[in-house]
Amino acid sequence: MSLTEKPEETPERLAFYDKIDKEAFTPLWAVMSSIITPEPKSACQPHIWRFENARAHLLEAGGLITAKEAERRVLILENPGLRGTSKITTSLYAGLQLVMPGEVAPAHRHSQSALRFVLDGSGAHTAVNGERTEMQYGDFVITPPWAWHDHGNTTDEPMIWLDGLDIPIVTHFDASFAEGMDADEQPITRQTGDSLARFGANMLPVDYRQEKLASPIFNYSYARSREALEKMKAQQEWDPCHGLKMRYVNPVDGGYAMPTIAPFLQLLPKGFKTAAYRSTDATVHVPVEGRGRTSIAGETFEWGPRDIFVVPSWHHVSHEADEEAVLFSYSDRVAQEKLGLFRQDRGNN
Ligand code: GTQ
């Protein structure tokens, strides 16, 4: 018996498989090599979505359905290898959401965690746990599991952001709950900036006890994150595989900002080419600034700001920046680390 070879299918064996099949038995040796693989074998494919095309389709959708009727007016970015499953990777979901001026995406809550990464427009808001935040380009915003959330746009421009959710993970565990609110918008009980003041100023309320896994900060503004990268950049200490890569944290415990999704922000200096790297966490990338290209298992994808591309698990990846570039990304690394599954291969670096 080998882990990679299937035993021969003799007529006697096939007849036996057929017989037991009717009683819902399956011989392990006939399927072993496809379920316990020597390396990750993913149906997820490398792919890039162009923001310009997505924006045009979204605005067209804006003429077909309101945010209210749709509940969420979103175009799902569905991996070409996973069509019909609402997945961008095997474990994660991505969509692009449009909120038109004057619209509200009504309040609801669900078991799934969501992140927003703002790509177009400025000043629309989302409300979470009684607090509103205004969203700007590049802001990373969290909706924790089971938190009421509604989105609104009182500006005079369409607002588009990337939604990253752990829908496939929650589905995998059959743990989905969801409900709507009677009102379109939740009551606002805290001033804007309250959670940032309480948890995002290198202090915590004395005697604070952590009750939830998600970060209590819900808007990690691009302005602040970018400023930090700018400061560190001067030091010229580049990781061969990542350039300068930071993870967004929960300030309460230093862990990832979300329980199931690991978000990152990365700077690549002009002309930098990262060394080949692979890891078990399939990753969704969004360039925020700059242009360049990424090689994924030998295939090259040219990108510019707001395009969205996906690197499947255990595919070699190398980024090259023609101009100074900043990439936002997210993966299920936090979940894999908790489960003892995460692996990475940095080559000789
Ligand atoms: O904004 O609450 O893309 O519930 C998918 C499901 C966004 C949201 C999505 C959702 C939302």
Q: Is 317 left (phi over 0), alpha (psi -120 to 50) or beta?
A: beta
Say how many domains are in the chain: 1
Q: How far apart are CA 21 and CA 31, in angstroms?
A: 13
Query: Average pLDDT of 170-178?
Result: 98
CA of 107 to the centre of ligand 1 (A): 11
Give the dihedral sign, CA 202/121/78/290. Answer: negative
Asked if the structure places residue 1 within a domain, the reply is no
Q: Above pLDDT 90, what percent of the chain?
A: 98
DSSP 76-103: E---GGGTTTT-SSSS-EEEEEEE-TT-
User: Can you give the pLDDT at residue 39?
Assistant: 97
Does 180 have pLDDT greater than 90? yes
Asked if the structure places residue 31 within a domain, the reply is no
Q: Is any atom of ligand 1 closer than 6 Å to the C-beta of 92? A: no
Asked if the structure places residue 39 within a domain, the reply is no
CA-proximal residue: ligand 1, atom 11 (nearest): 72
Asked if the structure places residue 7 within a domain, the reply is no
CA of 20 to the centre of ligand 1 (A): 43
pLDDT single digits (tens) 16-68 = 999 999 999 999 999 999 999 999 999 999 999 999 999 999 999 999 999 99
Does 2 have pLDDT greater than 90? no
User: Can you give the pLDDT at residue 329?
Assistant: 99
Q: How many Cα atoms occupy the beta-carbon half-sphere of 51 within 13 Å?
A: 18
CATH label of the domain that carries residue 256: 2.60.120.10
Smallest CA-to-CA distance from 99 within 79, 128, 119 is with 119
Q: How many Cα atoms occupy the beta-carbon half-sphere of 163 within 13 Å?
A: 27
Which one of 68, 74, 108, 176 would you pick to mutate in the ligand 1 pocket, going by the greatest count of ligand atoms within 8 A of its CB?
74
| CB-based contact 103:110 (threshold 8 Å) | no
Does 1 have pLDDT greater than 90? no
Q: How far apart are CA 300 and CA 319, in angstroms?
A: 10
CA of 319 to the centre of ligand 1 (A): 30
User: Can you give the pLDDT at residue 296?
Assistant: 98
Buried b (16+ CB within 10 A) or exposed e, 143-166: bbbebbbbbbbebeebbbbbbbbb
Query: Average pLDDT of 102-108?
Result: 97
H or E segment and range at residue 245: strand 244-247
User: Can you give the pLDDT at residue 4?
Assistant: 76
- Average pLDDT of the chain is 97
Question: What radius of gyration, in Å, describes the C-alpha atoms of the chain?
Answer: 22
pLDDT single digits (tens) 60-85 = 999 999 999 999 999 999 999 999 99
Asked if the structure places residue 58 within a domain, the reply is yes
pLDDT single digits (tens) 245-271 = 999 999 999 999 999 999 999 999 999
Which one of 163, 169, 176, 218 would you pick to mutate in the ligand 1 pocket, going by the greatest count of ligand atoms within 8 A of its CB?
163
Asked if the structure places residue 37 within a domain, the reply is no
**14 CB neighbour count, 10 Å cutoff:** 11
Asked if the structure places residue 130 within a domain, the reply is yes
Query: Average pLDDT of 4-13?
Result: 92
Q: Is any atom of ligand 1 closer than 6 Å to the C-beta of 67? A: no
Asked if the structure places residue 63 within a domain, the reply is yes
Smallest CA-to-CA distance from 263 within 101, 60, 114, 80 is with 114
Confidence label for 6 from pLDDT (cuts 50, 70 and 90)? confident
User: Can you give the pLDDT at residue 138?
Assistant: 98
Q: How far apart are CA 315 and CA 277, in angstroms?
A: 8
Q: Is any atom of ligand 1 closer than 6 Å to the C-beta of 116? A: no
First to last CA, the chain: 36
| CB-based contact 313:345 (threshold 8 Å) | no
Which residue range is the domain that position 316 belongs to? 47-345
Specify the pTM: 0.97
Confidence label for 143 from pLDDT (cuts 50, 70 and 90)? very high
H or E segment and range at residue 344: strand 344-345
pLDDT single digits (tens) 294-344 = 999 999 999 999 999 999 999 999 999 999 999 999 999 999 999 999 999
